[in-house]
Structure 1
Amino acid sequence: MDIKAAIKEIKRGQIGPLYLCYGTEKYQMREFITLLRDNLVEPDNREFAVVHFDLTETPVDLVVEEAETLPFLVPRKLVIVQANPMFTAGKEGGKVEHNTDRLLSYLGNPAEHTVVVFLVNAEKLDERKKTVKTIKTAGQVLAFMPLGAAELVQWVVKEVERRKCRISSAAAEALIASAGVQMASLVAEIDKLCLYAGENGEVTEEAVSQLVARTTEQNIFAMVEDIANLRLDRALGIFYELLKQREEPIKIAALIARQFRIMLQVKELGSQSYSQQQIASQLGLHPYAVKIAGEQARKFETAKLKFTLAELAQLDYRMKSGGIDKVLGIEMFLLRLGAS
């Protein structure tokens, strides 16, 4: 079952006894847990009807005992378990001893009065484990992965509309370009922008530019974009702004090198007919970052990207060994790159 279908069932009151939520998109996972809690337990009863465990600190036996114990004054209770060690590769809980057979027995016959949600902050489950195989049969396994580039833009538009404001796709992209791809950060910025726009107001690109401070990584994205479009004055302007923010020039050079390395990897994988999602998975990046890198990479020949990376490696060595002033070194690099 996918997340949308699970949400529809929960809103209809059809809540199962077992859920396994895994993935790297923590914000979506938290939103799902909130929805589940709100549809299962009244606000006044949450103090004693919602229980949290972490299997890196607590034996799974205690989780099973809690799940089997009848709820107090409510028909059903919610048990939320941070459960990486039981469903992923590696040691199960480190110093904590777990009775896996006890958990398997419970998964095979879960209590009707308890809803247990296992949370796994990992991209993949260990399909070899009995716990994974059993819960796939007995419960619902939901994957919370980063949205694709187009999906993320649409998500921003819908979040703005939920707050009774409106935003264009271009402004939504500008917001992502400034705030990054993490949903929690985007929500905070959306709240601020909608408050500024007012009810039924519009969140414009100008408002995004004025109110949303770019992260260092997003500034590097913008700097490379300006270089690719021969806007050297703007690229240098971003560099000087980063210096005002006390960013270390060696760190700036490393982030520029990282972006060019990503561009080269995206270009090479794209030439092998990899999809955007496949490239994102292969490189461990958000699909939106892959989209931006792909657009930037199209403006450079593969040989130029490789040459630039070699140049950056040499610049890194010279800066660290005192062979060149750090600020001057990056200035000269940007000037050469913009002129070539």
Structure 2
Amino acid sequence: MDFQKAKQALVQGKIENVYCLQGSEVYLQQNFRQALAQKIENLAGELDLSSFDANEVSIDTVLDEAESYSFFVDQRLIIVDQVDFLISQAQQKMTDGQTKRLLDYLKDPNPATCILFIVPHDQVDKRRKLTKAFLKETTYINISPLGEAAVQSFIQSYIQSADFEMTTEAQKALLQRVDYQLSQAVAELEKLKQFAQSGQKVTLEVVNSLVTRSLASDVFELTNAILARKLDRSIQIYQDLILMKHDPIQLHALIVSQFRLFLQVKLLQMQGIKQDEIAQTLSVHPYRVKLALQASRPMQIGELSQLYLQLIQADYQMKTGLGNKDTSFYLILTKIMQL
């Protein structure tokens, strides 16, 4: 089910017996669990809440609690965090008896209990019997990272509900600085809202002064400069990052990771896979995939592979002490510019 539709159903007072939130978008997860708890509390007059970590308790413990009745309220809420038994590489194992018990409960849940399962993974194994049952029997809500348009819409709604002014330029700059990550964008908006309490409009200048660029954004700008063979710009960005106390080995590892992403998205695109599917396949935010496709477009796959190999070799030398970590970047940059 679409997140907004699920929220709207809650607003209308429709509470289901079993929910499943699947995805890594933390803001949407917190938003829904708070809204669900508030709605149950409003309807019941009091909140009877039990929380479990699926890594620490068995499904039997959860179901024992779910099948019992509260002495205080007509409906209680159970939240089960960190569920991974729907993914392909699940660490949480269940016996056949436990699996059957869970499947039976999903088909016939206790009407006096609302369970919220939280699966913080963007991909699940839809071949699994359990996954099929969850998709069919629960109110299954996808909260994977949103695309640009959806994030922008959320931000605009947030600004409107918070009742402060923010220019279109400022909104765009904010989203770019946080790589269109909804949770980070909302966290930054909390700061900007405090600034706007004095009645001032949030402008581009305000965003540039108050919202810190993410390290991922700076590394992406650096790799773009390297791809464009802009030597002076590459050195300037790198030196700025060093002045910000980032370790050269850490920076180089991030650069290698970014070039790996360039290669992966280019190879998948060559296979005819669409942008959204690439993001799902690589478990990467759609905005990062879009930027990677744009940045790598002018490069031939052979050139990109050669650049990546150079970086891998330098990374190995830095981590094994064969090269000076303070000068390795400049040496590899000189080699790249000569390719």
* TM-score interval for Structure 1 and Structure 2 normalised by the shorter chain: 0.7 to 0.9
Deviation of 1:327 after TM superposition, in Å, equals 3.1
Counterpart residue number, 1:311: 310
Tell whether 2:256 aligns with 1:262.
no
Residue aligned with 1:273, SS: coil
Deviation of 1:134 after TM superposition, in Å, equals 3.5
Deviation of 1:132 after TM superposition, in Å, equals 3.3
* Count of aligned pairs between the two proteins: 338
- Which amino acid is 1:209 matched to? N
Q: 1:85–1:184: structure 2 CA closer, same or farther, 3 Å change rule?
A: closer
Query: What does residue range 118-137 of structure 1 map to in structure 2 within 5 Å?
Result: 118-137=117-136
What are the Cα deviations for residues 23-76 of structure 1, in whole angstroms up to 9, with x where unaligned?
222321221111111111139723xx1111223322323322322322233221
Q: 1:127–1:258: structure 2 CA closer, same or farther, 3 Å change rule?
A: closer
Identify unmatched segments of 5+ residues in structure 1.
Answer: none
- Tell me how far apart the structure 2 counterparts of residues 253 and 299 of structure 1 sit (CA, whole Å): 23
Query: Which is worse superposed, 192-201 or 32-41?
Result: 192-201
Counterpart residue number, 1:184: 183
- Tell me how far apart the structure 2 counterparts of residues 249 and 82 of structure 1 sit (CA, whole Å): 36
Tell whether 2:86 aligns with 1:87.
yes
Residue aligned with 1:51, SS: strand
User: Does structure 1 conserve the Cα–Cα contact (< 8 Å) formed by 2:122 and 2:280?
Assistant: no
- Which amino acid is 1:11 matched to? V
- Percent of aligned pairs sharing the same letter: 30
User: Does structure 2 conserve the Cα–Cα contact (< 8 Å) formed by 1:67 and 1:111?
Assistant: yes
- Which amino acid is 1:133 matched to? K
Deviation of 1:288 after TM superposition, in Å, equals 0.7
- Tell me how far apart the structure 2 counterparts of residues 230 and 201 of structure 1 sit (CA, whole Å): 42
Counterpart residue number, 2:74: 75
Q: 1:60–1:138: structure 2 CA closer, same or farther, 3 Å change rule?
A: same
- Tell me how far apart the structure 2 counterparts of residues 157 and 226 of structure 1 sit (CA, whole Å): 32
Deviation of 1:256 after TM superposition, in Å, equals 1.7
- Which amino acid is 1:221 matched to? F
Identify unmatched segments of 5+ residues in structure 2.
Answer: none
What are the Cα deviations for residues 148-170 of structure 1, in whole angstroms up to 9, with x where unaligned?
13322333333333322344554
Residue aligned with 1:296, SS: helix
- Tell me how far apart the structure 2 counterparts of residues 163 and 204 of structure 1 sit (CA, whole Å): 16
For the aligned residues, what is the CA RMSD? 3.1
Counterpart residue number, 1:32: 32
Counterpart residue number, 2:330: 331
Counterpart residue number, 2:288: 289
User: Does structure 1 conserve the Cα–Cα contact (< 8 Å) formed by 2:146 and 2:182?
Assistant: no
- Which amino acid is 2:261 matched to? I
Deviation of 1:331 after TM superposition, in Å, equals 2.8
- Tell me how far apart the structure 1 counterparts of residues 309 and 159 of structure 2 sit (CA, whole Å): 43
Tell whether 2:46 aligns with 1:45.
yes
User: Does structure 2 conserve the Cα–Cα contact (< 8 Å) formed by 1:60 and 1:98?
Assistant: no
Counterpart residue number, 1:2: 2
Query: What does residue range 85-164 of structure 1 map to in structure 2 within 5 Å?
Result: 85-89=84-88, 93=92, 99-164=98-163
Residue aligned with 1:115, SS: strand
- Tell me how far apart the structure 2 counterparts of residues 91 and 322 of structure 1 sit (CA, whole Å): 37
Q: 1:228–1:73: structure 2 CA closer, same or farther, 3 Å change rule?
A: same
Q: 1:176–1:231: structure 2 CA closer, same or farther, 3 Å change rule?
A: farther
User: Does structure 2 conserve the Cα–Cα contact (< 8 Å) formed by 1:21 and 1:118?
Assistant: yes
Query: What does residue range 53-72 of structure 1 map to in structure 2 within 5 Å?
Result: 53-72=52-71
What are the Cα deviations for residues 210-247 of structure 1, in whole angstroms up to 9, with x where unaligned?
12223332211122234456665443232122212332
Tell whether 2:11 aligns with 1:11.
yes
Counterpart residue number, 1:243: 242
User: Does structure 1 conserve the Cα–Cα contact (< 8 Å) formed by 2:25 and 2:144?
Assistant: yes
- Tell me how far apart the structure 1 counterparts of residues 39 and 2 of structure 2 sit (CA, whole Å): 19
Query: Which is worse superposed, 318-327 or 263-272?
Result: 318-327
User: Does structure 1 conserve the Cα–Cα contact (< 8 Å) formed by 2:242 and 2:248?
Assistant: yes
Residue aligned with 2:111, SS: coil
What are the Cα deviations for residues 73-132 of structure 1, in whole angstroms up to 9, with x where unaligned?
322111112362543445674599973333333222212221111111223334444443
User: Does structure 2 conserve the Cα–Cα contact (< 8 Å) formed by 1:167 and 1:202?
Assistant: yes
- Which amino acid is 2:50 matched to? V
